[in-house]
Amino acid sequence: MSRAGRQLALLLCSCCVAVAIPGGLAEEGCPAEPHQASRYVAAVYEHQSFLSPDPLALTSREQALELMHRNLDVYEQQVTTAARKGAQIIVFPEDGIHGFNFTRTSIYPFLDFMPSPRSVRWNPCLEPHRFNDTEVLQRLSCMAMKGEMFLVANLGTKQPCHSSDPGCPSDGRYQFNTNVVFSSNGTLVDRYRKHNLYFEAAFDTPLEVDHTVFDTPFAGKFGVFTCFDILFFDPAVRLLQDSEVKHVVYPTAWMNQLPLLAAIQIQRGFAIAFGINLLAANIHHPSLGMTGSGIHTPLKSFWHHSMDSPEGHLIIAEVARNPPGLISAGNATGKTDPFHRKFLQLLAGDPYSEKDAQDVHCDAAPKSTTNASPTFNSEMMYDNFTLVPVWGRDGHVHVCAHGLCCHLLYQRPTVSQELYALGVFDGLHTVHGTYYVQVCALVKCGGLGFDTCGQEITEAMGMFEFHLWGNFSTSYIFPMLLTSGMMLETPDQLGWESDQYFLKKRGLSSGLVTAALYGRLYERD
């Protein structure tokens, strides 16, 4: 079974937050643990990039380099800062050097020639004249060497091809969205060419998927992929089938889409689901909805999300070389936690615990104020969700669509003047990408009308203690917990119980925005 679903029940520790300082260091919210050799220092930089004023216009290589050097100057400053703090690896975002919204022709002056690191051993800083059109690679190599750290960055690259190659484009070259990895001595270690392009007409999809893994002396193996790749089996999931890959570097240019796919949501959910460290660097353009970076471990997250600040943010955190395993809890908590015992009774179909489909009437439990709630449909994430309102201070509601049934057992200390709903979707998502999802989601609606459920909101007051679960037909399930002010939360318990996948949470730090189990059925794409 995959690492996403191999535990029966998983107990998670509390989340720590890194407060990112513009152009500076993230302050870690938890004390460092002993045995420093078992940990390493990572950095990610969310970059407010200098963009071409007209990406559709044709320009010269010299003009393109002038723009890119402005971005590289900022990168160099961040490497210097990270080096002073002991960083051993730094990750920069997708599109951070050259920008975006180019055509195939207009991006050409921004492309570096990219030799294969697997066939050519090359240090661009020490051998700058070995290949033409490699000025960006040279600067990145020198940064890595000067900072004495591994460096991961994203740039556009070109590769000539011949008419004898059946895949060769008509202009005689491949153009790739490429991540490059440099070692601490400036050597080009490896590359990854993005496979799942997101409306990127300037770039080609590689004929074969790159499964890029590089080794480091301080943390072992790292996998590499980019942005939209995180939602697909290849290369993201396949890389993690190698049990030695415990870390992923992830440049991205992610446009946030609430309530389910904000950048920090999917980053955090991926790290928890696969039990790995994810070093995620997003571009920073709030006017385009682009923000949200972090260093995510299975048990902690150090993140930044800001729609207000115009500046870039450096996050630095110390993380474990071997990500802490999630602790199996089994049914033990049910013996001491009446709320969890009620959940287990529901799963067992105890007739004394569930008298009807909507309400819980357990002995010694307060009467639920939730009566036969109406189901309704509303658009969420461009998909037609089926939902049921979550009313009252406590209760059990469920809602089904196709083969997926989602359940919510909840208690609320107070009832806020807000509408919450439990939603389900089991089907093919077809807008801005095509992929099959199974989703159970408790969301705060945008207003008091049913038609506002699924709208993008970031503030909430509603406090919940809850179990959320469903009969998922996939083991690839990403837990998502987001509270007011774009704050990440960590589940108290997570895993499989009686063929149901569940998430348990008590003690939210602020009002609930979204609690979701986001399942992917890759084979149905």
Averaged pLDDT, groups of 10, the chain, 525 residues long: 42 39 39 60 98 97 98 98 98 98 98 94 97 98 98 98 94 98 98 97 97 98 98 98 97 98 98 97 98 96 96 98 67 68 89 43 37 87 98 96 97 95 98 97 98 98 98 98 97 94 96 98 97
Return the amino acid letter for 220. Answer: G
pLDDT of residue 350: 67
Cβ 408 vs Cβ 398: under 8 Å:
yes
Confidence at residue 443, expressed as pLDDT on a 0 to 100 scale: 98
CB within 8 Å of 448: residues ≥ 6 apart: 418, 419
Whether 194 is catalytic: yes
Count of Cβ atoms closer than 10 Å to residue 77 Cβ:
15
Return the exposure string of 378-406: e unless at least 16 CB atoms fall within 10 Å of the residue's CB, then b: bebbebebbbbbbbbebbbbbbbbeebbb
pTM: 0.91
pLDDT for the residue numbered 23: 39
Q: Catalytic site residue 227?
A: yes
Helix/strand/coil for 245: strand
Across the chain, which distance is largest between two alpha carbons, in Å? 79
Residue 364 region by backbone torsions, left for phi larger than 0, else alpha for psi between -120 and 50, else beta: left
pLDDT at 25: 42
Angstrom distance (rounded) from CA 225 to CA 240: 11
* DSSP one-letter string for 285-317: BGGGTB--EEEE-SS-EEEE--SS--S-EEEEE
Predicted confidence at residue 24, as pLDDT, reads 38
Cα gap 182→194, rounded to integer Å: 18
Place of tokens 């004249």: 129
Is 456 noted as a catalytic residue in this protein?
no
Catalytic residue among 142, 227, 440, 453: 227
Catalytic site residue from 15, 28, 194, 440? 194
What pLDDT score was predicted for residue 432? 93
Q: Which of 28, 94, 200, 354 is catalytic?
A: 94
β-pairing verdict for 188-193 and 213-216: unpaired
